[in-house]
Structure 1
């Protein structure tokens, strides 16, 4: 983990260093698809992948909060 200070106001899911391996993979593949160019189908892919990462982050945060309650 980096020494980058992170405020408690900043959600974990938007700090690359705090993302899970899977969240980082989705983040990185979006960048690769964006390099392919501009096309409505590519835009659809990016939107779906961003939504998938958001849902994965929801699950990671839920699991994290469930583990804190134990």
Structure 2
């Protein structure tokens, strides 16, 4: 998901869903409860794997939550 169109590469956070059947065009609505669950999942996965992509997503999503919510 972090490498797809649901993740906001500029502002951090995940959009709720896509508006096309190929999941390329995001619906630009970001919800706190969706992002909270994904933040928890990515944090746990980062701790288990040590993958730097997951760390980046955690940091950017947490920054978005603190800034926008």
- Tell me if TM exceeds 0.5: no
TM-score computed with the length of structure 2 as normaliser: 0.41
Larger Rg: 1
More helix by share: 1
Q: What TM-score results when the alignment is normalised by the length of structure 1?
A: 0.41
